[in-house]
Amino acid sequence: MNLAIARLIEKTTILLRKIKDSRDVFPYNRTQSIFVINKRVDGMKKIMMTLAATVLMAAPSLAADIAAGKAKSAVCAACHGQAGVSAVPMYPNLAGQKEEYLKKQLKDFKSGARKDPVMAPMAMPLSDEDIANLSAYYASLK
């Protein structure tokens, strides 16, 4: 992922330099110069869009903080176990569960889309950041 971003930035830099140099490509043919410049600007736009999409895709996993999730999980451990493996039959294991699934469940408990009298008050005070961190933490456990 980082390599892909680095390549895109390199491409962008090269194109930027070309656009800057374009002014002098056809000094006697304005129409042709503008055509070349527009093509290069379009190329730039495409690269910037790809770059933005790549960064956006990488963002959730970059943002989640497993250590912060672990710190926040102290209260959860009472029911879901110290390492996300519950000792009580009615309390589900969370260790190794899919990160996106955990996030969705916590958001659903918070919004009321998934109803449970025990989990609703647990999810209520969690921020989006808490939810992302807790989900990353439990997903990281085996």
Q: Which is nearer to ligand HEC, 26 or 65 (CB)?
A: 65
We find the least distance from the C-beta atom of residue 11 to ligand HEC, in angstroms, to be: 41
We find the least distance from the C-beta atom of residue 60 to ligand HEC, in angstroms, to be: 17
- The candidate with the shortest Cα–Cα distance to 132, out of 67, 43, 46, is 67
We find the least distance from the C-beta atom of residue 122 to ligand HEC, in angstroms, to be: 4
Residues in touch with ligand HEC (CB under 6 A): 75-76, 78-80, 90-92, 94, 102, 105-106, 116, 118-119, 122, 134
- The gap from C-alpha 26 to its chain's centroid, in whole angstroms, comes to 44
Q: Which is nearer to ligand HEC, 22 or 69 (CB)?
A: 69
Q: Which is nearer to ligand HEC, 47 or 94 (CB)?
A: 94
- The candidate with the shortest Cα–Cα distance to 102, out of 129, 73, 82, 132, is 132
Angle 138-139-142 (CA atoms, 0-180°, nearest 5)? 90
Do residues 107 and 131 make contact, with C-beta atoms less than 8 angstroms apart?
yes
